[in-house]
Amino acid sequence: QGTKGTHLDILQSPNRAPLGGSSLTTQQRLRIANASTFQYDISAGNSIYNAAQFSLLRRMARGRSFNLTYVLSKAIDNSSTLGGGVAQVVDNLRAERALSNIDQRHRLNFTYSIQSPVGADRTSWKWHAIRGWNLNSRISVASGTPRTAVVAGDPSGTGIVGSARAQATGLPVDGSTGDTYFNLAAFTVPLSGTYGSAGRNTIPGVMNFTMNAGIFRSFRIKDRHTLTLTVNANNPLNRVNITGFGTVIGSINAGLPSQASAMRSITASTRFNW
């Protein structure tokens, strides 16, 4: 599978001051002096997505079925609009080219359905107790989406706050230090009046594991009356999935978890049809 995108949105802040010191204030050094900074949306972005998908399917037979799907993919773009912020250098969009914000290298989905087995003796109470139950579940394992190392404020002195990237030190990024999710020593705050050299989305994301399961059975009371019992569980293993962590270099929460998905929840319902 493959897709190619052209003329995608990119956010820019064209009214910025040039790099380098000056006796003038930042506001006076703006391209439009003493005017406020603003964002400008242009259609100059490009993207490319390639993937190979493998599937293994067993149709319902003897009360069992499953579907296993694995996707190996890579997404690259230079479009910062989709959650990536403003382009750091307004005249150098090539520096924005990197892994996409939605890039997930590996994705594995497994769904299955099991109907309760029954024996030959239909007169026993065990046969009546276990027959008719249906168990369905979905398990997903996926690579995390990448993150960008940024710095707070306006270290470059251009008047643009919130788009400055960190300075790459050359050390490995994916080596954690204690409780952090990436190697903090891989980045530092750039020198005043300079742009950071770290690219977009150079911090690997955290692997995500999700599981949902449900079991139900319908009891026929009369010819037109049925009672259905259903129990659904989200995240039945109660596994903590980190969905976000700090990427502002120099802050107290750099590399620490900031968001997590919902914990275990179980709901039961009864439905009577007549």
Cβ atoms 39, 87 nearer than 8 A: no
Mean pLDDT, range 47-65, rounded to an integer: 92
* CA–CA dist 197, 186 (Å, integer): 11
Longest dimension (CA), the chain: 96
Backbone angles phi, psi at 262, to 5 degrees: -65, 145
**pTM of the full predicted structure?**
0.81
* CA–CA dist 75, 99 (Å, integer): 6
CA angle (113, 119, 123) in 5-degree steps? 125
Mean pLDDT, range 151-177, rounded to an integer: 83
CA angle (124, 130, 135) in 5-degree steps? 165
CA angle (88, 244, 198) in 5-degree steps? 30
23 or 69: whose pLDDT is higher?
A: 69
- For residue 269, give the H/E element and its range: strand 265-273
Q: Which two tokens stand for residue 25?
A: 């204030």
**DSSP letter for each residue of 165-228:** BPEE-SS-SS---TT-SS-GGGEEPPPTTS---PPTT-B----EEEEEEEEEEEEEEETTEEEE
pLDDT at 84 over 60: no
Res. 77 pLDDT band, cuts 50 70 90:
very high
Average pLDDT over all residues of the chain? 87
The four Cα atoms 211, 59, 271, 229 give a dihedral, to 10 degrees, of -60
Mean pLDDT, range 96-122, rounded to an integer: 86
pLDDT digits (tens, 9 = 90+) for 190-208: 998 888 999 999 999 999 9
